[in-house]
Structure 1
Amino acid sequence: MTHTPPRTPLGAAEISDLVDRILDAGTLPPIVQAGHPALRQRAAAFDGQLSRDRLERLIGLMRQVMHEAPGVGLAAPQLGIPLQLAVLEDQFDVDPEAATLRRRSPLEFLAILNPRYGPAGPTTAAFYEGCLSLNGLQAVVARPESVVLEFQAPDGAAQRREFSGWQARIVQHETDHLNGILYLDRAQLRSLSTNAEYAAHWAEAGTGKAQEGLGFDATPAGISVPGEHPDA
C-alpha cells in the first residue's frame, strides 16, 4: 500500500442520519462489497455521535447481520457506516486438526469502539483468510500471532486485552476495516483463490500445499495502518 486511506468525508450528523435510516428500515442491511467507498476510508472515531440506546441497537443489528452471513466479525463500514465500531464472535465448530494448527478457540461476543492493535511478540502466522465484503475469494495473509488490543467498550470504559491465534486474526481483520484496509492489501496475491478452487485444491489446515502449487511465500506484507500501534 502506497498511501494512507483518506478519512471519511461524513460528519457526525450525516453518520447519525445514516444509522437512523438503517435502524428504521425494518430489514437486515446488505453487506457492502469491495468498491464501496466506506471500505476504503478511515472511519470516524466514535465520540458520541449516537445515543447509548441507538448504539446498542446498532450493535445488536450488526450481530444479527454477522450471524446471518455467517461470519466471525463485522465492521460498521461493511454496512456502509463510516464509524469506528466492530463486532466479533466465533462460536463455530471446526475440524479439530485445523483448530489446533490455527490456534482457533471460541471467542465470546465482543463489541469494540476506536480499536488499535500492536503485536504482542515477534511470531507471525500465515493462513487463508476471507471477507464478507469480498464474496467468494480467499488469500493467504501473514499476521502477528498475538496482539494487544486497546479499545473502548460500548459503556465507555477503556480496555486493553491480549488475543492470540485465530482470535488475534479476527481482531486485526476487523480493526483494519475501520482504517480502510482490506485483507487483500496484506495478502500474498499469488495465493488468491475462489472458494471453489480452494476447496478443490488447497483445503488443508496449513498453507504448504498452496505455497508449492501456486508459487508464493508466506512472509508478512509489511504495511502499516493507523489502526496499528507497534509498541504495544
Structure 2
Amino acid sequence: MVNNPLEGSNMRHVLTEEYLRESIAAVLESAGLPEIVQAGHPTLRARALPFTGQVSDTDLARLIEIMRATMHAAPGVGLAAPQLGIPLQLAVIEDMFEVSAENATARQREPLEPFTLINPRYTPLGTELAAHYEGCLSMTGWQAVVERPSAVELKYDDVHGTAQTRQFSGWQARIVQHESDHLFGTLYIDKAHTRSLASNAQYSQHWANPDILAAREGLGF
C-alpha cells in the first residue's frame, strides 16, 4: 500500500496563504499567458482556499482577465485558479461556441455568457442524471464519460463580493459542476466511467457523437 499523496509536504505547502500570494504574483507578473498545470500537480488535488480579500480589487480583476484569456487560448469553456497553480476558490466560465443543432439538443447545450465564480457551492436539483463525455484542460489529450446531476443550484460570490444564487441545467450545469469541483481537489476522472476513457484521437475516430450510446455499447460501461 502506498502513502496517501495528499498527506505529503507538498500538499501542506500549497495550502498556505504565503504560497497563495506567491502563486498569484507569479501569474500577474508573467510576460505571457500562464501555463495550465496538468494532473499530478499538487494544487489540483488541494481544497483551494476561500477568497477572503487576499488580493486587491485591481489585482483580482487582472487575475480574472488573465484566466479568461488563458481559457480562450486553450480553448475551453471554463478555467479554475488551481489549474494555474493558484489554490484559490476562483473560476471563470463561458460557453459561446457554435455547435450543431443535433449536439445542442442531445446535450441540452445553450450559450452561457461569461461570469466569474468565487467561493462556489452547488447542490443537485432533483434526481435526474445525465452522462456525457468530458475533457479537461489539466488532463490534455483525454476524455471520459461523467454522470452528473442534470440541474444544480449554485451559490457563489460575484466579483463585488455579493452573494448570488443561480440555477443551471443541461450542459451549463455540467460546466458549473466541473469547474467548482476543481476548487475542492476533484478532477473529472474521479467521477468518470473509467472504461469510457479515450484519447482525443480515439474519441474523434469512434465516439464523437452527440450522445454516448455507441461508446457505452462499444466500451462496455
Bin of the TM-score, shorter chain as denominator length = over 0.9
Alpha-carbon displacement from aligned partner over 1:92-147 (angstroms, at most 9, x marks no partner): 00111011110100000010100000001111100000000000100000000000
Determine whether 1:131 maps to 2:109: no
Q: Which has the higher helix share?
A: 2
Determine whether 1:46 maps to 2:51: yes
Distance 1:8 1:117 in 2: 26
Residue 201 of structure 1: aligned partner: 206
Alpha-carbon displacement from aligned partner over 1:59-91 (angstroms, at most 9, x marks no partner): 000000000000000000000000000000000
> Which 4+ stretches in 1 moved above 4 angstroms?
5-8
Distance 1:197 1:39 in 2: 26
Alpha-carbon displacement from aligned partner over 1:179-209 (angstroms, at most 9, x marks no partner): 0000000000000000110111111110010
Residue 181 of structure 1: aligned partner: 186
Measure how far apart 1:214 and its partner are. Answer: 0.4
Task: Pick closer, same or farther for the CA change 1:161–1:30 going to 2, 3 Å.
Answer: same
Residue 98 of structure 1: aligned partner: 103
Distance 1:8 1:141 in 2: 29
Distance 1:122 1:210 in 2: 24
SS at the partner of 2:113? strand
What is the percent sequence identity of the aligned residues? 56
Query: Match for 1:212 among 191, 197, 217?
Result: 217
Alpha-carbon displacement from aligned partner over 1:2-34 (angstroms, at most 9, x marks no partner): x9x677643223312221121111210010000
Determine whether 1:82 maps to 2:81: no
Distance 2:18 2:201 in 1: 43
Residue 57 of structure 1: aligned partner: 62
Residue 24 of structure 2: aligned partner: 19
Q: Map residues 160-171 of structure 1 onto 2, 5 A cutoff.
A: 160-171=165-176
Query: Match for 1:29 among 9, 29, 34?
Result: 34
Q: 1:145, 1:169 within 8 Å by CA — same for their partners in 2?
A: yes
TM-score (norm 2): 0.93
TM-score (norm 1): 0.89
Alpha-carbon displacement from aligned partner over 1:162-193 (angstroms, at most 9, x marks no partner): 00000000000000000000000000000000
SS at the partner of 1:118? strand
Query: Match for 1:147 among 139, 149, 152?
Result: 152
Q: 1:31, 1:133 within 8 Å by CA — same for their partners in 2?
A: yes
Give the AA of the match of 1:47: T
Distance 1:166 1:206 in 2: 12
Distance 1:126 1:80 in 2: 29
Q: 1:145, 1:164 within 8 Å by CA — same for their partners in 2?
A: yes
Give the AA of the match of 1:212: E
Residues matched between the structures, number? 213
Residue 71 of structure 2: aligned partner: 66
